Amino acid sequence: MTHIPTTVSVPVPQGLRPRCAEATCVVRSNTPVNGEYRLLTLDAPEAILDCQPGQFFQLLCPAPEGESPFLRRPMSIYGYDKAAGRLEFLYKIAGAGTRGLATLRPGDAFNVLGPLGHGFSMPENWQNLMLVARGVGLATLAPLARMAQEKDRKLTAICSARRPDLAMSVDLFESYGAEVIVVHDEDGSSTPEALRPLIEARIAKGKVDAFYTCGSSRLLRLLQDLGNAHSIPGEIAMEQQMACGLGMCQACVRSFRVGDRIIQRRVCREGPVFPISEAI
């Protein structure tokens, strides 16, 4: 049965964030990409495709047999194409919500809400970019590589994983012109101790103006140390459990360090992208 994508606008006070909408999309495909992750591709209406890298959607996951997911599942955008009417999510089956996602078949209707949150920025003086992430965190940063290519920036992508075959988005980053470096746990190349000299060598050659990362606490601490030592700014997309995704429920509040103060921010509303230097 063919479903026609529909949207319902969600009013948002002007100036607080880009407009979001609730939409019924159509599943184009839902396929494994390796032993752990799956790629969900949707036919999506134009109203929800004014996206920024780093934003996310709230997905109304179908209920798998014997389970009843209560809340929508927040998920970062892996890919989007307004001209093609395409929206993509990369996910790992980990709970009732993602088990429900895995049951979707081509032609199924699927309800989403978004885009939500504030995405990555790319100031003009950030010409040489370094992306460092691990696992599904690389999915969040995939649209950033496309933006870097569109803005004619140079990009180095350090992709970390438990094993080489689980490194995500390598071909995608390469297709956007990035230098890709795969590191993994099996040979110890993914440890902060191994990554530090690798990154510092590129800093010494003037190849890093800004860092981008997502998810991993140990990678965040490494990039904070390097950023402080070499005066290199950057941004992180924070991962956090959420309920509403709109800022009303306060379930995703985290602490951030701003100057000599510790302040509280909602990851869904003020983020999910924040300065690396302020993340705790």
Total Cβ atoms within 10 A of residue 3:
14
Give the Cα separation of 107 and 28 in Å (integer). Answer: 6
- Calpha distance 176→147 (Å, rounded): 9
Q: Where do we find the tokens 């040489």? A: 128
Enumerate residues 6+ apart whose C-beta is below 8 A from 223.
132, 211, 213, 234, 236, 276
**Euclidean distance between CA atoms 142 and 139, whole angstroms:** 5
Contact call for residues 76 and 140 (beta carbons, < 8 A): yes
Decide: helix, strand or coil at residue 64: coil
Question: Which residues have a Cβ under 8 Å from the Cβ of 195 and sit 6 or more positions away?
Answer: 132, 158, 183, 189, 219, 222
- Distances in Å between the Cα of 30 and the Cα atoms of 90, 114, 166, 206, 258 are 10, 20, 18, 41, 41
Distance CA 132, CA 156 (A): 8
- Is 25 one of the annotated binding-site residues? no
Residue 75 assigned to a binding site:
yes
Question: Is 51 within any annotated ligand binding site?
Answer: no
Is 268 marked within a binding site? yes
Please give the structure tokens belonging to residue 39.
């790629």
Asked if residue 214 belongs to a known ligand binding site, the reply is no
The answer to whether 218 is a known ligand-binding residue is no
156 marked ligand binding residue: no
Find tokens 């970390």 and name the residue.
160
> Is 98 annotated among the ligand-binding residues?
yes
Sign of CA dihedral 88, 92, 93, 98: negative
- Give binding residues for [2Fe-2S] cluster as ranges: 244, 249, 252, 268
Which residues define the annotated binding site for FAD? 73-76, 97-98
Residue ranges of the annotated binding site are 73-76, 97-98, 244, 249, 252, 268
